[in-house]
Structure 1
Amino acid sequence: MTSSTGRHEPITALHTGAGDPLLLLHPFMLSPHCWHRVATRLSDRCEVFAPALAGHWGGPPLNGRLVDTSRLADVVEGQLDELGWRTCHIAGNSLGGWVAFELARRGRARTLTAIAPAGGWNQTSVIQYWLGVQFLGLVPITGLGRWVPEGLRSGSIARRAAGLAIAKHFDAVPPEDLVATITAATNCAALLPLLAGSIRYPGLGDLRELAVPTRLLMCEYDRVIPNRRYARHFLRNLPESADRILVNGVGHVPMLEAPDRIAALIAEHMQAGRPHLRAV
């Protein structure tokens, strides 16, 4: 199940460590490469599994013109069954956070850490359409990127542009991770099907009945899903027992620029008997 972690090759899945089972789900248009440094830090206490989502670079194919997160969750559930994981701790970022909530509703989560999750809207929401329009603007860019020579695609200008989109301090992100981000985005077959599905199908809706211990991590400098607009649904609809934490000084994909902090926040939440934090 696990392929090479070389940054220029697609990663089918990261699978490392031993201990409590931990599932890590990557954002839209990225791949498991974004979890590599977090997985390394947690592998001394957890068996970490970070698969490539269907339709993404390194992931299984995804057929259909309209795709919603429930189909992505179906594929991940099948992978959990293959591993023999009836339940596991789950952490997901952006689209991965949305899929993580879907899996939690199916009873597959022991704990849930949602990092700048997508899906925080009801059907026919203005926020839902606005986010779709933002990502739609990436279609011609990623299409052009496939034809650009690799030397330009992985050059300093392209890396800087990618870093500014997903991180506050892009210079803290290793260059090879920025190159992998660009490569994953230009090889995301699910881009249009998921955009179409996200507009047609509802978001996460009411989360107040969610029984699993939940931690929401909001990124202070999130340029993709800004907190002012997109975090309100989660702040209002998560159970009172859920943690609500603002992670300072990071962008939308904080695992790339602050792996120590993200690993610590996930590990802390996994520990039983901890006090609930109600920050922000």
Structure 2
Amino acid sequence: MSSGKSSVVLFHGVTMSAAAWEGVVPWLTDHHDVVALTALGHRGGPVVRERPVTVRDIVDAAERMLDDRGIAQAHLAGNSLGGWMAIELALRGRALSVCALSPAGFWDGGGHGQTDAVRKLRRTIALVQLTRRVQPLALRSGVVRRLALRDIACRADRLTAAQALTAATDLIECAVTDDVLGTEEQIASVPSLPCPITLAWSEKDAILPPAVNGRIAQERFPQARFEILPGVGHVPMIDDPKLVAATILATTGAVPAVTGVPSASPDADG
């Protein structure tokens, strides 16, 4: 039976899984039915049948997952690759609104804004792969968690050891990492937005910096709302899940905007 609430569908970044949203989901459920999906080729998601996999293939698979759940339209939110997916789904008419958190796909034809991101992600991937045997012990240390994930979060020590180990396992077992990091696809400009879109960029993003990728995004989507999320890294769900939830809820219209309040509660009664 339907709850009467509109749905929010969440999409994670490359190498991650729906588990990336664990800290955010509880802050959304008072206002929306929440669905966190794991993308094609990622651990726990649909299995890849043919290679190479394109971002378009991943979006196609996500659209099939919406169809399977009977979701014609929903509020969509995503981080990095997930933000790109949400925007592409919106262009297909599947979104009531989009909250794209440091979305990937905003680079120029020469790869400007993509090369550094890929290099840093590959460095993180190599480190995680090399240290797999010692991770169950090493990730018990908050200092180790913070250092190991410093390119994607400012305060990865806020994760539990179990959460960090899940993220590491997701990364190692992602089947489409090379395909996605090697893509030449990008998000093109559109004459008008298909729905309200918020581009919420992490202030401390070391992977897709707001001064580079955020600038390109603003140039291509000038009608979108653009805001900076203070004090958080590329995966802001790690650093401040409450701020992320509040940003999503402001985009859906469930609560007022809370820009500039890094630890604001998304409770409607404030």
Regarding TM over 0.5, the answer is yes
Q: Which moved more, 1:104-113 or 1:263-272?
A: 263-272
Q: Secondary structure at the match of 1:127?
A: coil
Q: Distance in 1 between the 2:226 and 2:77 partners? A: 14
1:220 aligns with 2:203: yes
Give SS of 1:164's match. coil
User: Once structures 1 and 2 are overlaid, which stretch shifts more, 80-89 or 123-132?
Assistant: 123-132
CA distance in 2, matches of 1:168, 1:219: 10
Q: Give CA-to-partner distance per residue, 1:132-187, whole Å, 9 cap, x none.
A: 333334454344344x2453463426423334222222333333322222121111
Q: Does structure 1 residue 151 correspond to structure 2 residue 133? A: no
CA RMSD of aligned residues (A): 2.4
Which residue in 2 is equivalent to 1:8?
none
- Say which of 240, 245, 257 aligns to 1:258: 240
Structure 2 letter corresponding to 1:100: A
The alignment-based identity, stated in percent, is: 31
Q: For the structure 1 residues 249 and 140, does the alpha-carbon distance in structure 2 shift closer, same or farther, using more than 3 Å as the test?
A: closer
Query: Mapping of 1:170-185 within 5 angstroms?
Result: 170-185=156-171
Whether the 8 Å CA contact 1:18–1:44 is kept in 2: the answer is no
Contact between 1:22 and 1:48, CA under 8 Å: does it hold in 2?
yes
Q: Tell me, which stretches of 5 or more residues in structure 2 are unaligned?
A: 260-270
**Contact map agreement 2:208 2:234 (CA 8 A) in 1:** yes
Structure 1, unpaired ranges of 5+: 1-16
Matches within 5 A, 1:76-115: 76-115=62-101
Letter aligned with residue 192 of structure 1: D
Amino acid at match of 2:139: S
Instruction: Report the CA distance between 1:58 and its aligned residue.
Output: 1.2
Counterpart of 2:263 in structure 1 is: none
Q: Aligned residue for 2:186?
A: 203
In the alignment, the residues of structure 1 paired with residue 160 and residue 211 of structure 2 have an alpha-carbon distance, to the nearest angstrom, of 29
Say yes or no: does 1:231 pair with 2:214. Answer: yes
Deviation at 1:245, TM superposition (A): 0.7
Partner of 1:126: 112
Amino acid aligned to 1:87 = Q
Instruction: Tell me, in whole angstroms, the C-alpha distance in 1 between the residues paired with 2:255 and 2:27.
Output: 22
Q: Report what 2:21 is aligned to.
A: 35
CA contact (8 A) 2:113 2:212 kept: yes
What are the Cα deviations for residues 79-127 of structure 1, in whole angstroms up to 9, with x where unaligned?
A: 1111111111000000100111110111100000000000002433233
Q: Deviations over 1:37-87 (max 9, x none)?
A: 211111122111111111112112224443221111111111111111111
Letter in 1 for 2:218: L
Deviation at 1:272, TM superposition (A): 7.6
Structure-2 separation of matches of 1:172 and 1:49? 24
Letter in 1 for 2:198: R
Aligned to 2:34: 48
Distance 1:74 1:66, change over 3 A: same
The 2-side partners of 1:141 and 1:76 are apart by 29
Aligned residues: 255
- Aligned-partner residue type, residue 209 of structure 2: P
Could you say which residue in structure 1 is the equivalent of 2:264? Answer: none
